[in-house]
Amino acid sequence: MKVEQIYTGCLAQGAYYIVSENEAAIIDPLREVKPYLDRLEKDNVTLKYIFETHFHADFVSGHLDLSKKTHAPIVYGPTAKPEFEAIIAEDDQIFEIGKVKIKALHTPGHTMESTTYLLIDENGVETAIFTGDTLFLGDVGRPDLAQKAGSVTQEDLAGILYDSLHTKIMPLDDSITVYPAHGAGSACGKNMQKETVDILGNQKRTNYALNQPDKESFVKEVLDGLTAPPKYFGMNVAMNKGGYESLDDVMNKGLNPVSVEDFESFAEETGALILDTRSPVEFHKGFVPNSINIGLKGDFAPWVGTLIVDVKHPLLLISDEGTEEEVITRLSRVGFDNVLGYLKGGFDTWKNSSKETDEIKRISPSEFAEAFNENSKVIDVRKISEYSAEHINNAYSRPLDTISDWVSTIDDSEHFFLHCAGGYRSMIAASILNSHGIRNFTEIEGGFNGIKKTEKFPVSDFVCQTKTL
């Protein structure tokens, strides 16, 4: 028997590949299925089942493409109602893969169809659980995503999750390995550990959610501090439940090189958003006017989903040459399939054609230290939790994920400095502000991490500047 965790850092997502004898199973596959097909071919095994722990909200699963290419059936837990052919498992139903067994344990709460899969080895020993978003390391799945107005509340779901954990998972042996669907950085939980694998006994001892004295306390603690989920989540659920276009077709359409001559008119004719995936360092020096920078080397896909939201919105890409396929793949993971093409030759061809360009004023932390005075306005686009831990005195907290709510409050007649933790998020914010005609600002390279090293700024954990700008 072999169990392999296939972890994707930018989504903080774990898929699982299980082999016994000449058969295999895959749990919660990502959108691009070639890596799984390559493993199957290398191991000379047949994919028998594709298990889905639930209808994912934060990424588009590869279950449909994988099933079409291998003819393996898709398995969901009880109550799931996909709009395509699938096996809907009964609670405690056993599935055999070679000499091992996988038992479906219905564990609703995160969603009503959420199911944990228990792996039983060839000797009949229960060895591992694949918990999806039911149980994370250090946390549990947020119970606010599947609530339905007028019928099921987040409090109801949290209570159901408590029952699932205490009747299905807590009674299992402490030695069992826990394989969750996500790790630290995912928006599906709030307190996840950086590790991606643990044993159940350690989670029983250290996971705050598993150590609440009663259901009432559990509900209160699990719901406390939850921020609003990204708006693209519902669209990803719909795609996972209802189906989507083949990634092969998405790739064929998106890998369309567009000349400089056609790029501008193409954007105007289609209403496409110009997405520049170069690094912040390169973007600030020059970019196509009104383009939005979300760097590929970062939490690219989640930020695209959070800020663009509409997965059907047409996109035109500006990328480093040779990265176009990676960009389209990572966009597809969160359902952004409507890529119309990319600028052939990248930004350099645009610049060399004498087309109009724009730039973001960026300074170093030391230059910021020289320019800063008591009248300076500073906008901090980090998360509220980061701001609350420590920030420049009197800086305004304006998290990037809510920029659509606060961009209209900016007074462009008054200069301000803009920063995040390291420069990735503040350049995203800078590009969005610039596209809204707001230009009277300076972005700080290296963000708060660099600012602190200058040791010239009074910092505080006192939260104050939340009033209107």
The single residue listed with the structure tokens 């958003």 is 273
Which of 129, 215, 122 minimizes the C-alpha distance to 171? 129
174 or 228: which leads in pLDDT: 174
Could you give the CA distance from residue 372 to residue 375 in angstroms, rounded to a whole number?
Answer: 8
Encode pLDDT of 406-424 as tens digits: 999 999 999 999 999 999 9
Taking CA 245 as the corner, what is the angle to CA 244 and CA 246, rounded to the nearest 5 degrees?
120
3 state DSSP class of 431:
helix
What does pLDDT average to over the chain? 95
CA-based torsion, 378, 379, 383, 388: positive or negative: positive
Which of 101-115, 307-321, 367-381, 448-462 is the least confident region? 448-462
Residue pointed to by tokens 């691009």: 32
Contact 308, 337 (CB under 8 A): no
Mean pLDDT of 253-277: 95
CB 425 within 8 A of CB 379: no
Residue 456 pLDDT grade (very low, low, confident, very high; cuts 50, 70, 90) = confident
Nearest-angstrom CA–CA distance, 251 and 65: 13
Element at 242 (helix H, strand E): helix 233-242
Strands 198-199 and 177-180: antiparallel
- 468 burial (CB, 10 Å; 0-12 / 13-18 / 19+) is exposed
Angle between the N-to-C axes of helices 300-308 and 424-435, in degrees from 0 to 180, rounded to the nearest 10? 30
Q: Is the pLDDT of residue 373 over 60?
A: yes
Instruction: Specify the pLDDT at position 190.
Output: 82
**Max Cα-Cα span within the chain:** 73
Residue corresponding to tokens 């005195």: 393
Q: Any idea what the Cα angle at residue 270 is, between residues 269 and 274, rounded to 5°? A: 110
What CA–CA distance (Å, rounded) separates 162 from 122? 31
Cα distance between residue 392 and residue 122, in whole Å? 58
- Percent of the chain whose pLDDT exceeds 70: 98
**Where are any strands of DSSP class E within 241-344?**
257-258, 273-276, 292-293, 315-318, 339-343
Render pLDDT for 122-164 as a digit per residue (tens, 0 to 9).
Answer: 999 999 999 999 999 999 999 998 877 568 899 999 999 999 9
Residue with tokens 């169990």: 3
To the nearest 10 degrees (0 to 180), the angle between helices 247-254 and 324-332 is 140
Asked if pLDDT for residue 295 goes beyond 70, the answer is: yes
**Whether the Cβ atoms of residue 276 and residue 342 lie closer than 8 Å to each other:** no
- Nearest 5°: CA angle at 328, between 361 and 15? 115
Q: 3-class DSSP state for residue 186?
A: coil
